[in-house]
A and B are shown apart, each in its own frame.
Chain A
Amino acid sequence: KAGVTQTPRYLIKTRGQQVTLSCSPISGHRSVSWYQQTPGQGLQFLFEYFSETQRNKGNFPGRFSGRQFSNSRSEMNVSTLELGDSALYLCASSLRRQGMNTEAFFGQGTRLTVV
């Protein structure tokens, strides 16, 4: 069974540009969550999508957005990039069944560098 796939693995962008990152969840998983990891702030929750709807959102500015497609694949977008957006962006998928907790499986991440 294939794991969570994130593309691209590495990305270099210039301040002011925008970027789109992609995540393909494990087959059958309908929940996709995004996290940002930086040396200073650690791993922080960005948002979660389930059935093409954003279900939860972390404390990030509106420049960070996402969407989920009918096949559960998800994209996140960061507009007007700032140097502080340089980070490892991680995607996690889970079954998210009603009435039970299910573990989240993470991808390898996309390393974004803003110059």
Chain B
Amino acid sequence: DAKTTQPTSMDCAEGRAANLPCNHSTISGNEYVYWYRQIHSQGPQYIIHGLKNNETNEMASLIITEDRKSSTLILPHATLRDTAVYYCIVRAENTGTASKLTFGTGTRLQVTL
């Protein structure tokens, strides 16, 4: 699976949009971009994933650049409960290791009043 690079930490004011970047310059054509987050001492929570088109769900939006070398997770209106470590993961499609997630160090997002 391709390697990802994320900033170590970010701050965001409550109510504002949180934009979390991720670089995955070695991504292959069959690799998806997944985002998970982990709130302190809990299990990781799935947020969203995409291949090449932008995706949106009730939690967030995922913007993937046209060359697919980077992506941005957008939390449109961050709240204090969004304070967590956010992991960007690149994962191959339907291979023997499809269920294996390779976590990096993630971005620690701190949402403040």
Contact = CB atoms under 8 A, between A and B. Distances in A.
A and B interact physically: yes
Interface of A: 4, 31, 33, 35, 42-45, 48, 50, 55-56, 58, 88, 90, 92, 94, 96, 98-101, 103-109, 111
Contacts of A101: 32, 49, 91, 93-94, 98
Contact of B43 (A31, A45, A48, A107): A107
A105 B45 CA distance: 7
Contacts of A35: 101, 103
Contacts of B105: 42
| Interface of A: prevailing SS | strand
A56 B94 contact: no
Contact of A104 (B42, B96, B99): B99
Given A42-B105, A43-B44, A106-B44, A33 B94 contact: no
| Interface of B: prevailing SS | loop
A107 B44 CA distance: 8
Interface residues of B, number: 23
A99 B43 contact: no
Interface in B8-65: 32, 34, 41-46, 49
B98 A96 contact: yes
A14 to B, nearest CB: 23
A31 B44 CA distance: 17
Contact of A4 (B43, B97, B102, B104): B43
Nearest to B48: A103
15 contacts: A33-B101, A35-B101, A42-B103, A43-B103, A45-B100, A55-B99, A58-B100, A90-B43, A92-B43, A100-B93, A101-B93, A103-B34, A103-B46, A104-B101, A106-B45
